[in-house]
Structure 1
């Protein structure tokens, strides 16, 4: 096993997690990223991104000398397999932008020696792997699709304990090598064609988006009928055919995957002449979550939104991460600011959030939740940080008497909030929004 040499292109969430976890398994692992500043920090043991367990594995790998970082692809010349983990953002028409993938594969084609394997972990449209394989065939190189299924804030755990590992390839040697590199039980490895592997990743993320949007639609119905979304989804989740994951309502879904992957799947469907109305509807439902929140606040605040002082608790797209990419919290803040509200924002990771990102959303960052909520007309819980449960709500009520607490995540104890003298609105709860 130690004789296998592994390469990784891209040191983002997926690439860096892949690199440190493979090095932990004793593999000689080299990671290339074009950002010289990032590479310098990684060499010094700074993981750059906030991910539990990552720093320890990074430092252990660097100290053991089986994990190295470079800006030059030549460092991958002797690798047996190279994982491509570069971004595939959405183009204006929803298609995946493959320029980074194309550049990485082209460069690897000039650097690697046969019979090396290029494994695409980047999320790519159907047909990409086969097209890249044709491009590298004359070089004696193989290309496989092995999409990632890592959750931010749980990436290291998920890599170590995958519920499935997908290998899309029709080259037996590539499959055998990837099986060896991953080192997980055969029962968790699913072999399939490259096309199936590519589509399986999009299909999985799109289905999660559909579940989340359905939960938000149900929450809206619950609020209007006196039902409680927690009871409804508890019943649904008890059915093993449905499961309880991704049934929690919120301010909408976001992050680096679901928005772009649903857009790319719809684009692929249009290209193949296949409508995917379920996915389109999920995106439409997601887009109106901002309106649900602003409409509720306009109804509750005597003066409406213009000049209202609103505090946003949570700015990242999910808890336990610094990632604000396509954050639903920031989308809500931007809509409120556009309506004339004065928006202050607090997040436990505020110091790691780019000031320009906050400015774009019309948010004034405040590094103390009690200062942020002072004199607020409304307090919005937008990200599910558990710390918000432990805030001293009676003290907050003294500084913001009569404030409305709109809990989009149903994170807080409604009785405790009401007992402090504040008006509480849950998402899909009786008397909520």
Structure 2
């Protein structure tokens, strides 16, 4: 199959490269000429394990090309995949301007029967909007398909080539079957729905996962007050097949390009049909507050005065194995520290450049390694659970810090790791390990 992927961002790039890996002829289109030049030279603008190797191999085999010429790519395509960004507007709604622009250009370029699939995360009704925009610009026959993606940053190649399921929404049975055939080498778990159900399914999936994260964080906060260990609670919950263990790891909340954007967008979608999504509003509120809890612990440790202190920050990406810093908890936490008069020393294995371009340089010392960041610090905040940090020898670490204070926002370290150290340690929902910042356990009465 000849496939044109419009948008060489995260979703488009991973999807296009993996389609080429399946043996199809793929053209990835992007309006940014510098990105196209870098891709043609074998570079990859995102950090995603395994992706660069696949890109280079398939380009060398002649199955994968990169271009800024949308018309050329669309005219030779059997399937056009729209994978452009849908960033949030100030209201929380998805900005569909890139979708509209892509649809208009596709309509003008189309030559013969084409299947147009929207892979971008879009509000319910967007595929029909795209269909109308294309119809207004061409008499060529085409069918519309909703093809939501369910990729996780850091494991996107694996998620694409070994998906949990493929969801295809279409009003055309023939078009849906052709797209299903494209994906059958990957899985037999293929679900065909109508257009609007496929669009809604994507938002519902992300909203539910965000809800699980906020739920376990609320449980963690209660665990701290009653003396229970959230890691044991979550493990026991996960054995229940109705619940499952995924997304039950307590921490400082979710971030990234999907969950924050999609939860807010679904709240807006509900509002447009005069429905108040109270549960999801609470999920967003809990997530916002969770990242500030560790700051409150720091304030407690230092008697409410952070000014003049030096705090090391380990981890700037919103999760490990990615350089994506969009909606990362580190953004808000570092801002708060700097505004409180703290000298911040920050380090991340791969996300330093992206973070600096988004945050700026004010009030932060950018360090070349974890030990450099911790040296001379009054406290260390671990915000991203990179494997590099998990392998740290805490006995050596405490020797380079001014004060051995560790705020572990991802529950990386265990009791065994802390044994023999002098660390004042705080983790999330594990009160037995929180040396120096324990809360008094109440006598419970019922």
- TM-score category (smaller protein): over 0.9
Displaced runs of 4+ in structure 1, greater than 6 A?
none
Confirm or deny that 1:101 pairs with 2:99.
yes
Confirm or deny that 1:347 pairs with 2:344.
no
Report what 2:3 is aligned to.
6
Q: What are the superposed Cα offsets for residues 60-91 of structure 1, whole Å, 9 maximum, x if unpaired?
A: 11101110000011222110001111110110
Aligned residues: 430
Say if 1:50 and 1:322, in contact at 8 Å, map to a contact too.
yes
TM, length-normalised to structure 2: 0.93
Report what 2:253 is aligned to.
252
Confirm or deny that 1:426 pairs with 2:423.
no
Relative to structure 2, which stretch is displaced further, 302-311 or 220-229?
302-311
Report what 2:18 is aligned to.
21
Relative to structure 2, which stretch is displaced further, 283-292 or 192-201?
283-292
CA distance in 2 between partners of 1:237 and 1:220 (Å) = 18
CA distance in 2 between partners of 1:130 and 1:256 (Å) = 24
What are the ranges of 5 or more consecutive residues in structure 1 without an aligned counterpart?
none
Q: 1:220 to 1:395 in 2, by over 3 A?
A: same
Aligned 1:32-431 pairs, distance under 5 A:
32-76=29-73, 77-137=75-135, 138-184=139-185, 187-302=188-303, 304-359=305-360, 362-431=363-432
CA distance in 2 between partners of 1:192 and 1:291 (Å) = 41
Relative to structure 2, which stretch is displaced further, 40-49 or 294-303?
294-303
CA distance in 1 between partners of 2:416 and 2:304 (Å) = 26
Deviation at 1:187? Answer: 3.5
Say if 1:212 and 1:249, in contact at 8 Å, map to a contact too.
yes
Say if 1:333 and 1:361, in contact at 8 Å, map to a contact too.
no
TM, length-normalised to structure 1: 0.96
Q: 1:185 to 1:383 in 2, by over 3 A?
A: closer
Deviation at 1:180? Answer: 2.1
CA distance in 2 between partners of 1:6 and 1:388 (Å) = 41
Report what 2:442 is aligned to.
none
RMSD over equivalenced CA pairs, Å: 1.6
User: Helix, strand or coil for the counterpart of 1:345?
Assistant: strand
What are the ranges of 5 or more consecutive residues in structure 2 without an aligned counterpart?
438-446
Q: What are the superposed Cα offsets for residues 327-384 of structure 1, whole Å, 9 maximum, x if unpaired?
A: 1122211122222211111111155435333436853211121111112111111001
Say if 1:254 and 1:328, in contact at 8 Å, map to a contact too.
yes
Q: 1:267 to 1:211 in 2, by over 3 A?
A: same
